[in-house]
Structure 1
Amino acid sequence: MTKRLREDEAGPSVPLKGSTQLHIPQKRFYRQRAHTNVFVDHSLDYPTSPDDMDWSTHYPAYFSSDPSSSKFEPNHKVEWADVGCGFGGLLMALAPMFPDTLMLGMEIRTAVTAYVADRIAASRQVQETLASDSPDKLPGGYQNVSVIRANSMKHIPNFFAKGQLSKMFFLFPDPHFKVRKQKARIITTTLLSEYAHVLQPGGILYTVTDVKDLHEWMAHHLHAHPLFEYIPTEELAGDAILVAARTSTEEGKKVERNGGDKWIACFRRVEDPPIESE
């Protein structure tokens, strides 16, 4: 899947010995429309259940396609999901900060997904080269991060088991300004029930946007949902994860360059209510 770019298209690189040199991809070579119709049946690959998902191609340092391999670690699992990850800014910021946490970006646009996959592949190769000289210099080596093309509004439960995730990120999602398009917003009452299914009690759902109307929409639906409780922003002051969510995405950087505002709302997944016996 990784694209070998011509030298005149290439980004920064590190000289490699005995292997094909990958270059950090440049977004202008991965052109894609800004929006995709999430209700169309795209040609997507997804497992029938989380148990059928093969993670070995995404995290080869943690999983093996052969269960008998000594590298096979059944206890490893993806814990953080960046839904609509865009060009992967958050993933690339968090991966070296939390090298033992497996995190996945989910993106429906083909070219954007390819860009993130190439960005991760190139970064892994660069880190491996640098680590050969100084093994402790760059923890993780981006082996703990990956991306998958998926329609998160339809297939989240196909990838993650109940209570598998501890963090979910919804950063600068498509605002769908027109009223008739708002049914396509990534935060709705129905979808929140699916997110609550894969998010463990105590897990955190992060939302960041530069559109006040969308912020109010997402906060309204989250406040109304019985399985989420609001976390006052001051409780997360200084939280490195929230700082990265606000500042590391391409959209977040663009808002800062333009002097725009950002609205934040974080919610904690609460325990399931007890089942009343008859």
Structure 2
Amino acid sequence: MSESHPPLRSYGRLKTRTIKPRQAALMETLLPTLRPPAEAFDPKALKPDAAEVWLEIGFGGGEHMAAQAQRRPEVLILGAEPFQNGIASALRHIDEAALTNVRVHDGDARELMTRLPDASLERIFVLFPDPWPKARHNKRRIVQTETVAEFARLLKPGGTLRFASDWADYVDWSLERFVRSPAFRWTAELAGDWRSAPADHITTRYEEKRLGDCAPVFLDFVRT
């Protein structure tokens, strides 16, 4: 990542409302213990007994990440999110469930990805990312040809990636870029495979708001 030409920001505001006192306290006490190393690292070193390592890019309020971590305690989940209110919410979920298998990067997911070694992940989630719907802003979307290549670098053969969005144009945009990559195979066989939430999906309050222009679409890919 060039210091003189940093990547375009792929997310919107960093903070909206005032963070509640309890969550603000967790930002000061819990977050520092959950941050991954600031240099290149092997994620397995963070939890040597982890059966798998997953990455959630843009975890929002942390509902999905925390619920998956609670459901699969043997899995280490790395989460990346720059939105301060979302981080504070996620910390509350982590604290209340006493989760020990989550690590939180409070910043751009691409910064975290560059620090991870090749073939270090079994699973990646990109769920309802900022859609940047205006054509002139499409270049800010997290799913680009370059990031698809980075996803391929990080996933082990047979690893999976799930993209979800309720913006039709972003679904088409992402599908085009993943299908174009020889590193990924789209698993859908029937229309219901992308129109219905997968069995292991956890619906969040944000998803239920239906802020996009279509019903949620779920695209699952396998690293070939």
For 2:118 and 2:73, the matched residues in 1 are separated by 24
- Give yes or no for the alignment of 1:50 onto 2:41: yes
**Amino acid across the alignment from 1:176:** W
Residues 119 and 156, structure 2, Cα contact 8 Å, conserved in 1: yes
Q: How far apart are residue 244 of structure 1 and its match?
A: 4.4
Task: Find the residue that maps to 1:200 and give its secondary structure.
Answer: strand
Residues 233 and 265, structure 1, Cα contact 8 Å, conserved in 2: no
TM-score, normalised to structure 2's length? 0.74
Per-residue deviation, residues 204-241 of structure 1 (Å, max 9, x unmatched): 1101111111000000000001111111165996xxx9
Aligned residue for 2:152? 196
For 1:171 and 1:216, the matched residues in 2 are separated by 15
Aligned residue for 1:185? 141
Aligned residue for 1:252? 207
Aligned residue for 1:166? 122
What RMSD over aligned residues (CA atoms) do the two structures have, in Å?
Answer: 3.1
Q: How far apart are residue 259 of structure 1 and its match?
A: 11
For 2:164 and 2:18, the matched residues in 1 are separated by 27
- Give yes or no for the alignment of 1:157 onto 2:148: no
- Give yes or no for the alignment of 1:79 onto 2:33: no
Map of 1:1-278 to 2, 5 A cutoff?
30=19, 47-51=38-42, 55=46, 62=47, 73=48, 76=50, 79-124=53-98, 142-158=99-115, 160-232=116-188, 242-245=198-201, 247-255=202-210, 261-270=215-224
For 1:253 and 1:52, the matched residues in 2 are separated by 32
Q: How far apart are residue 192 of structure 1 and its match?
A: 0.8
Task: Find the residue that maps to 2:132 and give its secondary structure.
Answer: coil
For 1:236 and 1:48, the matched residues in 2 are separated by 42
**Amino acid across the alignment from 2:108:** N
Q: Which runs of 4+ in 1 moved over 6 A?
A: none
Change (3 A) 1:216 1:150: same
Task: Find the residue that maps to 2:114 and give its secondary structure.
Answer: helix
For 2:168 and 2:78, the matched residues in 1 are separated by 27
For 2:63 and 2:91, the matched residues in 1 are separated by 12
The structure having more radius of gyration, on CA atoms, is 1
Q: How far apart are residue 157 of structure 1 and its match?
A: 2.2
Aligned residue for 1:13? none
**Amino acid across the alignment from 1:251:** Y
**Amino acid across the alignment from 1:102:** L
5+ residue gaps, structure 2: 1-15, 21-34
**Amino acid across the alignment from 2:222:** R
Change (3 A) 1:204 1:98: same
Count the aligned residue pairs. Answer: 192
Q: How far apart are residue 87 of structure 1 and its match?
A: 0.5
For 1:156 and 1:236, the matched residues in 2 are separated by 32
TM-score, normalised to structure 1's length? 0.60
